[in-house]
Amino acid sequence: MPDARIAVHPEARIDRIEPEVHGHFSEHLGRCIYDGIWHDETVDSEGFREDVVDLLDDLDLPVLRWPGGCFADDYHWEDGVGEDRPRRRNLFWAQGREEIPEEPNTFGTDEFLELCERIDTEPYLALNVGSGDPQEATDWVEYCNYDGDTELANRRRENGHEDPYGVKYWGIGNENWGCGGQMSPEQYAREYRRFATYVGTMDNLMVEEDHELIAVGYERHEWNRRYLEEVGESAWGVEFPLDHLTLHHYYGRDMSVAEADEDKYDKFLAEALEMERHIERIAGAIDAVATTRDIGVIIDEWGGWHVEATADSGLEQPGTVLDALSAAAVLDIFNDHADVMTMANIAQTVNVLQCLVETDGDDAFARPTYHVFDLYAPHKGNEAVRTSIDAPTRALDDGELPLVGASASVDEDGGVYVTATNLDCRERHTVEIDLGSVAAETVDAQTLFDGQEPDAEVDADNAGEFEPDDLDVSVSDGTLTADLGPATVAGISIQ
């Protein structure tokens, strides 16, 4: 007997699902860049790890944020271009090595932008506000994007890149309430305006570029209100020189998935679902202050962050089914808020935190979260539509966990894509999906993680076990029925 009902309302459009909500974040931290994307110095061969690049390419990443993270506000981009690259300390992260952490600068701007070209991804550069200045920031924009006959544009050419890269997304700092300079929201707003004046004005010099400026927000929402009030002050007639406001949401920091029990799984998933409240609150702050300007919400860093991920471990933690399940639930939330969401970047791309790809010596393999992104890929660029969900919940100490989640979108031919998650790590749930006016002539359904335990960890040997399986569904009188195993995800295409 079905115990969960999902109604899809194809006529109730939310907005386009920006492909960028499936974005990624990569920092000079632990083994993300070195030994992840780029061969570690200790490895004889040089350059990109083709195995990792191929996996990323297959996933069709829409956007990639770099070089941090906290690293960004201690990074001086000129260290990482040209022939002579100084070796520097890495102030924030232990690079996964036992010795004093150091940054060789082997992987810099041109390498990052070449990676983006190879995998056809929009680059997103985070500028150094905490320890840098607007001149350094503007120079970076000029080096990357200017087509004229200046020293910086010519330096890019000498470094092998005749044409401007056309970098569109520029982040003004990272966590400037913390590692990016411990600023107050008002102080950051003033710094932001100083940077935005110069970086933003570079637009006038570009032939085709339309830079989008991205500001640092915070999960402590008081920051967002005060920042927006200050940055919106238009003493000189310039209002809100920003396109997107961000926040970071990590969850599960007090747990190890391997040591947790089912109660802790529930708590972890409920923490992940807090994403919805954060999106609504930051969007509300934007609405309240910036009434005339279209400012999008970016979740710039997100994902599970567990006790194993410390600076000493290079923020590495096992890749589990539970984490992947949380990613599915969060991607459903992004779909439901397509009207405000302009981007989201899971942390981080390779080896660090809830990465999608892991390397182990000469092996590179997809983590369970990778398969979730793949399963959700058909939503990208579709119109999100409303769903209503009537499903059991489990009472928690401070709230409740809905045991079934879902979202839906419509493509330009009227086809519907539904994703559904069984967030119950104990029981199966039979789900009935009311398809409304959609004539279900062809249905194709897949499921992830059926038969896997939530704490199942991926490694080089078992990576193939986390790939999708076909899901049996039945359709009758406009209603589709599917039986979802505990801690599983489904992707259902209805044409």
Active site amino acids: 175, 301
Q: Which of residues 333-352 bind ligand AHR (CB under 6 A)?
A: 347-348
d(CA 144, CA 271): 39
Tell me which residue of 58, 57, 71, 78 sits closest to 26, measured CA to CA: 71
Q: Map 131-164 to HEC letters.
A: CCCHHHHHHHHHHHHCCCCCHHHHHHHHCCCCCC
Nearer to ligand AHR, 32 or 321 (CB): 32
Nearest residue to ligand AHR on Cβ basis: 69
What SS3 class is residue 414?
A: coil
Sequence-separated (6 or more) residues with CB below 8 Å from residue 54: none
Nearer to ligand AHR, 68 or 101 (CB): 68
Q: Which of residues 119-148 bind ligand AHR (CB under 6 A)?
A: none
Nearer to ligand AHR, 68 or 123 (CB): 68
d(CA 225, CA 182): 17
**252 contributes a contact to ligand AHR by CB under 6 A:** no
Question: To the nearest whole angstrom, how small is the minimum distance from the Cβ of residue 73 to ligand AHR?
Answer: 9
Strand (E) positions, 183-295?
212-215, 244-251
Q: Which amino acid is at 22?
A: H
Question: To the nearest whole angstrom, how small is the minimum distance from the Cβ of residue 198 to ligand AHR?
Answer: 23
**69 contributes a contact to ligand AHR by CB under 6 A:** yes
CB distance 180 to 173 below 8 Å: yes
**408 contributes a contact to ligand AHR by CB under 6 A:** no
How many residues of this chain bind ligand AHR (CB under 6 A)?
12
Question: To the nearest whole angstrom, how small is the minimum distance from the Cβ of residue 296 to ligand AHR?
Answer: 19
Question: To the nearest whole angstrom, how small is the minimum distance from the Cβ of residue 349 to ligand AHR?
Answer: 11
d(CA 378, CA 376): 6
User: Which of 52, 64, 70, 231: binder of ligand AHR (CB under 6 A)?
Assistant: 70
Structure tokens that stand for 63 in this block: 């956007």
- CB-based contacts of 145-153 (< 8 A; 24+ apart in sequence): 145/202, 145/206, 145/209, 146/202, 146/205, 146/206, 147/206, 147/207, 148/205
Question: To the nearest whole angstrom, how small is the minimum distance from the Cβ of residue 173 to ligand AHR?
Answer: 10
The contact mask relative to ligand AHR for 211-250 (x = CB under 6 A, - = no) is -------------------------------------x--
The contact mask relative to ligand AHR for 297-336 (x = CB under 6 A, - = no) is ----x-------------x---------------------
Q: Which of residues 163-192 bind ligand AHR (CB under 6 A)?
A: 174-175
Tell me which residue of 351, 406, 414, 415 sits closest to 376, measured CA to CA: 406
Question: To the nearest whole angstrom, how small is the minimum distance from the Cβ of residue 53 to ligand AHR?
Answer: 21
Q: Which amino acid is at 34?
A: Y
Nearer to ligand AHR, 247 or 385 (CB): 247
In the complex, which residues of this chain contact ligand AHR (CB under 6 A)?
Answer: 27, 68-70, 174-175, 248, 301, 315, 347-348, 353
